[in-house]
Amino acid sequence: MSINNHFDFLAPIYDKVIKSANNANLEALLNLPISGDLLDAGGGTGRISNLLKDRASSVFVADLSYPMLRQTIQKKGLLPVCTHSEFLPFPSNYFERIIMVDAFHHVCNQENTARELWRVLAPDGRIVVEEPNYHKFGVKLVAFAEKIVFMRSRFLLPENIKSLFGFKYSNSFIEYDGYNSWIVIDKGNSSQKSTDPG
C-alpha cells in the first residue's frame, strides 16, 4: 500500500483521529495575521489551515491526495490544490507565509520540496515546518512503525531539515515543543533580485 493509499483510506476520519498541533505556537511563529497569502503544503484535510483562514488574505491547501482534499472543500474559506510539493503550480515569490505540518517526512523528495517552498516564498516571507523531533526515542518508534506498514516516510533530524533550507539570503532557527520541532526559515529581501534557490 502506497502512502497515498494510506491517506486516501484515512481521509474521512482523519480530522477525528488526528489532533491539531499547538496552534498558538504556530500562529506566534508565523507572526500572524498577515495581509498576504498563506500556503499549507501537504495540508491534507485542511485541519490546521482551517484554524488560520481568518489570519491571512487567502489560504491555499496543497496536497497530493484527492480524498484528503475533498475534506478540505467542506471547510469554507480554503482553496484546495492537488499537487506534488516538489512541483507547486504557483509563481515564484508568491506566498507571504508557508506552513508544512507533520508532512515533510512523507514527501517524495525532501530536497526538491525545500527548493519549491523556497521558490514560492515571497521576499520577507516565512516558512514554518513542524515535524516530529527525531531526537526523541518515541518518534523513532513511530518512524519504525510507519516503515512496517510500508509508508514512504523519511524522518530527519531538525538540524538536517534546517540545512535543506540553507539558501542564499535565508535565515533559520529551530524551536522544540515536547515531541515536536519547529524549523523556521525567513527569506531575506535581497532575494528579490533572484528566484534561484541556490
Is 117 a domain residue? yes
Domain count of the fold of the chain: 1
Phi, psi (degrees; rounded to nearest 5) at 91:
-70, 160
Residue 162 lies in a domain: yes
CA-closest candidate to residue 160, choices 119, 117, 104, 108: 104
95: domain CATH number is 3.40.50.150
Neighbour tally for 189: CB within 10 Å: 12
Reported as a pLDDT band with limits 50, 70 and 90, residue 196 is low
In the chain, count of helices (H) and strands (E)? 7, 7
Per-residue cell: 87: 512541483
Average pLDDT, the chain: 84
The one-letter amino acid at 75: K
Question: Average pLDDT of 45-60?
Answer: 93
131 located within any domain? yes
Instruction: Count the Cβ atoms, other than its own, within 10 Å of residue 25.
Output: 15
Average pLDDT over residues 70-82: 92
Domain carrying residue 181:
3-193
Output 113-117 pairs: Cβ under 8 A, ≥24 positions apart: 113/41, 113/85, 113/86, 114/161, 114/164, 114/165, 115/197, 116/85, 116/86, 116/87, 116/88, 117/41, 117/85, 117/88, 117/165
Residue 10 lies in a domain: yes
Amino acid at 131: E
Greatest mean pLDDT among 13-27, 28-42, 123-137 lies in: 28-42
Residue 198 lies in a domain: no
pLDDT digits (tens, 9 = 90+) for 95-140: 999 999 989 998 989 999 999 999 999 999 999 999 988 767 576 6
Tens-place pLDDT, residues 141-156: 766 666 655 567 788 8
Is the pLDDT at 3 greater than 60? The verdict is no
Of 175, 152, 145, 190, nearest to 22 (Cα)? Answer: 175
pTM as predicted: 0.83
In angstroms, the CA 49 to CA 78 distance is: 8
